[in-house]
Structure 1
Amino acid sequence: MIINKLLIRLSFIVLLCLFAYDGGAQTVYKTVNDIPNPKVDRTGSVSNPDGILSEPETDSLNRLLTQLEQKQGVETAVVVIHNFNTDQDDFNFAVNLFKLWGIGRKKANNGLLLLVATDRKAYRFITGYGLEGLLPDADLKLIGEHQMVPAFKQGNYGEGVVNAITTISNYLNQPANHKELADLLAKSKQKIAWQLPAAISGLLIIILIWVLRVINKRKAITHKIKQAKKLSAYDIIATVIGVILFLGIIAIVIISGLNKFAWFKALPVQNVPWLVYDVSALIILTKYLGNLGIIRRQHQDDFNFNEAEKSYLKATWWCIVFSPPVIIVLLIEYIRLRNSAKRFTAIADAAGKSMIRVDRDVNREGKPYLSPGQRTEEKLDVYCYDIWVSASNDKEFKVIQNQGSSFGSHDVCPQCGFKTLKKAETEVLVHPTHTKEGEGKKVRHCEQCDYEELIKMVVIATLSQSNSSSSSDSGSSSSSDSGSYGGGDTGGGGAGGTW
C-alpha cells in the first residue's frame, strides 16, 4: 500500500514537471513574418511577444519612442524575443524585418530598428538610409556596449533597452544635429504634388474615349454581315488580349485588396499617368484588332477586304501615338497587302483580253463556277478561289486556287479528291463507367463526302472518382502590413554585438 502511494505521488510529480516544461517552451520565430507588428496590433512601437519586458518597461519604452518620433523625427521599432531561426544570422534577419515593416517615412528613410534575441545573447541596430549619417555604425556600437550589454548580462533587458533609446534621443537632440534632423523631417512631411499627375491621367482617359469612338467610326461598315463566318485571326488575338487585360486587372485588384491595397499605396503618384497610358494602349490595340475582325467578316471577297482595310489603316495610323503596339499590326498588314497585290492583277482570256474578276461579296457561293467540294473547302478556309470571267465570252472562265488561313487543318480525301478530310478524332461506341472500360474508334471523316477512314479501335479508361474533398490548404501567408509604418528602406547600416 505504501509503495502504491509513493508511485502515485511520483507519477503526479513527473506529470507536473512535464506540464511545467511544456509551458515554459520558448517560441522560435522561423521567419520575419512571424514577428508581431506592433503598429498592426496597435500596441505602440514595441514588439514583446514573449513577455520578456515587463508591462511598465514596455509602456516606458513606447513613450520614449513616441517622443523620439515627434521631436527628432525618427520612427523606431524595438523587438525583444527569445530566439529566431538558427539558419539565419541576426543581421539578415533584422534587415529583412526592417524592410518588411517599412520602418521610417518614404523619401526620408528615417527608420531605426533594435532587435534583441536573449537566447542568442545578441542585439542588432538597423538604420534607414536617412539616419546613416546621424547615427554612424561606430556610435551605435558604443551605445550598445556601454548602455545595453552591462544590463543584459544581469538579465535586465528592459533597463538596457531604455538606457540605449534614451542615449540615442539625447544624442540626436544635440544642437549639431538639429539642421540635419530638420531636413529629414522636411523630407518626411513633404507632400507629393498629385494635381498634375491626376490632370494628366484624366486627360489620357478622355483621349482614350475619343480614340475609341473615332476608330470605331472608321471601320466603315457598308452592309450587314450576311453569312456567319468563323472568327478571324484578328478576332482571336483581340479576344486573347482583352481577356488577359481584364483578368490581369481583376487579379491586381483582388491581390491588392488582400494586402490592404499596399501596392497602390506604394505606387508613386507620378507613375500613375504611365499606368493609365499602358492600360489605354492595350485597350486601343484590342479595339483596333476587333475592328479589323469586323471588316474581315464583312467581306468574303479578299480584294474587297483589302480595299476596306487599306482605307481603315490610312484613316487610323495615328493610333500608334496612343498605342505603340499598333505599329506592329500596321507593319504586318502592310506586308500582307503588298504580297497579295499580284493575286488581283487581271489575267487574259483566250483572245488575250483582260478578264473580269467575280465579286465574291455579290456571288458568295461562286455559282455556277465552283463545285460543291470547292465551296466546302472555302467554308473550311482551306482554299479560297478567285473566279475570272471573260468579258467577251461569258462561258469562258478560270478558277484560281489560293491557300486559305486554315490550309493545314485538313488533308486531301482519297474518295472525293477535295482537301476536306478532318484530322483524327475518337468516337465513343460504348461509354465507360466507374467499374467498366468503354470502347471507341479513332477515325477520320471527310466533310464533303461520306468517306470514313478507320485508324484503330481504342479502349476508354474507366471513370475516376472525383475527389471533392481535395483541400487547398494554401497556408497563411502572414504578411505584415507594410504600410503600418511609413514605408522606409535601409541599406543595412547599423551595428550589433553580443554579451
Structure 2
Amino acid sequence: MFFLRPQLWLLSACMLFSSLALAEIDFPKLSGRVVDEANMLSTATERSLSEKLAGHERATSNQLVVVTVNDLQGNSIEDYGYQLGREWGIGQKDQNNGALLIVAKQEREVRIEVGYGLEGQLTDAISSQIIFQIITPAFRQGQFDTGISQGVDAMIKVLGGESLPAQGNAKQTGKAPPALGGLLMLFVVLMMLGGGGRGGRGLLGGLLLGSMLGGSHRGGFGGGGGFGGGGFGGGGGGFGGGGASGGW
C-alpha cells in the first residue's frame, strides 16, 4: 500500500485538475439549431438555416447545429468542439448522428465536429474540404452568411450520399481532443508506476480506464435543453473528436 498512496494521490489530483479545467468553459445555451452568440449572421440567414436544418432532421433524424462564439476561452477549437458536442449531446442517443459547425470569431477559426455515427460519411478529409474550399474562402471576403450557408449545404449534401468536387489541396486537420490525449498519456505513466507495488497496476489501471471510458461517452447525458415552444434539444448523441478545423 505504500506504493499506492502517492500514485492514487497523483491520479486524484490529475482528475480533479481535468474536471476544473473543463468546468471553466462557459458554453452558450443550446437555444436552437443556430446559436449565433458572436452575431456573425443576418436575421434572414439565421432563419433560413434553422428551417433547413429542421427539415434535414425531419427527413433523416440527423441533428446539425451551427454555433458562432466570441472566443474559445483559451482552449483549442478541437477541444472546445469536442466538449461542446458532449455538453449539448447533439444527435440521437442510439445513432450518435449529430454534427456541429463551429465558428470562433476572435481566433478566426472554424471546426466541423462530427458525432460517432456520421464519421463514416462526414469524414475528416471531407470536413476539411468543406472548410478550406467552401467556408474559409468566403470568410476571407467577409461573407460570413455565404460561408456558413454554403458550408451547411455541403454537409447536408454529403450526408445525403452526394459527392463534393475533387478535393485538390484541402488540408486535413482532424485531431484527437487534447483532453482525451492527456488521459491516455496519464494512463500509460500510471501503469508504469503501478508496477512498483503489488496489485497497484490493476487497481490504478482499472480506476483510470473506467474514468476515461465514462468521460469519452459523456455526450450521451448532455443536450437536454429546449427553447420556447419548439422543444429543440440534443438527443444525447456521442462525440469522439472526429472532424476537421481551419482558419481564415
Alpha-carbon contact 1:52-1:81 (below 8 Å) kept: no
- Which residue, out of 24, 30, 38, partners 1:37? 30
Q: Counterparts of 1:81 and 1:55 in 2: how far apart (Å)?
A: 16
Please tell me whether residue 113 in structure 1 is matched to residue 100 in structure 2: yes
Residue aligned with 2:239, SS = coil
State the 1:65 CA deviation. 0.9
Please tell me whether residue 496 in structure 1 is matched to residue 238 in structure 2: no
- Which residue, out of 59, 62, 70, partners 1:82? 70
Contiguous gaps of at least 5 residues in structure 2: 1-22, 164-219, 227-232
Please tell me whether residue 169 in structure 1 is matched to residue 162 in structure 2: no
State the 1:162 CA deviation. 0.4
Partner of residue 78, structure 2: 91
Partner of residue 362, structure 1: none
Partner of residue 109, structure 2: 122
Q: How does 1:281-292 map to 2 (within 5 A)?
A: none
Please tell me whether residue 100 in structure 1 is matched to residue 87 in structure 2: yes
> Which structure has the larger Rg?
1
TM-score (norm 2): 0.61
Q: Counterparts of 1:69 and 1:123 in 2: how far apart (Å)?
A: 23
Partner of residue 62, structure 1: 50
Partner of residue 53, structure 1: 41
Please tell me whether residue 139 in structure 1 is matched to residue 122 in structure 2: no
Give the length in aligned residue pairs: 164
Alpha-carbon contact 2:85-2:113 (below 8 Å) kept: yes
State the 1:125 CA deviation. 0.9
Tell me the C-alpha RMSD between the 2 structures: 2.3
Where relative contact order (Cα < 8 A, 6+ residues apart) is larger, the structure is 2
Alpha-carbon contact 2:64-2:90 (below 8 Å) kept: yes
Matched AA of 2:240 = G
Q: Aligned residues: percent identity?
A: 32
Q: How does 1:285-324 map to 2 (within 5 A)?
A: none
Matched AA of 2:239 = T
Q: How does 1:307-456 map to 2 (within 5 A)?
A: none
Contiguous gaps of at least 5 residues in structure 1: 1-29, 39-43, 177-264, 267-478
CA offset digits 1:351-388 (Å, max 9, x no partner):
xxxxxxxxxxxxxxxxxxxxxxxxxxxxxxxxxxxxxx
Matched AA of 2:30 = N
Q: How does 1:216-255 map to 2 (within 5 A)?
A: none
TM-score (norm 1): 0.31
CA offset digits 1:410-457 (Å, max 9, x no partner):
xxxxxxxxxxxxxxxxxxxxxxxxxxxxxxxxxxxxxxxxxxxxxxxx
Matched AA of 2:108 = K
Q: 1:175 to 1:152 in 2, by over 3 A?
A: closer
Matched AA of 2:246 = G
Partner of residue 236, structure 2: 487
State the 1:173 CA deviation. 2.1
State the 1:32 CA deviation. 4.2
CA offset digits 1:184-232 (Å, max 9, x no partner):
xxxxxxxxxxxxxxxxxxxxxxxxxxxxxxxxxxxxxxxxxxxxxxxxx
Q: Counterparts of 2:24 and 2:48 in 1: how far apart (Å)?
A: 28
State the 1:163 CA deviation. 0.1
Q: Counterparts of 2:100 and 2:24 in 1: how far apart (Å)?
A: 17
Alpha-carbon contact 2:131-2:246 (below 8 Å) kept: yes
Matched AA of 1:142 = Q
State the 1:31 CA deviation. 4.6
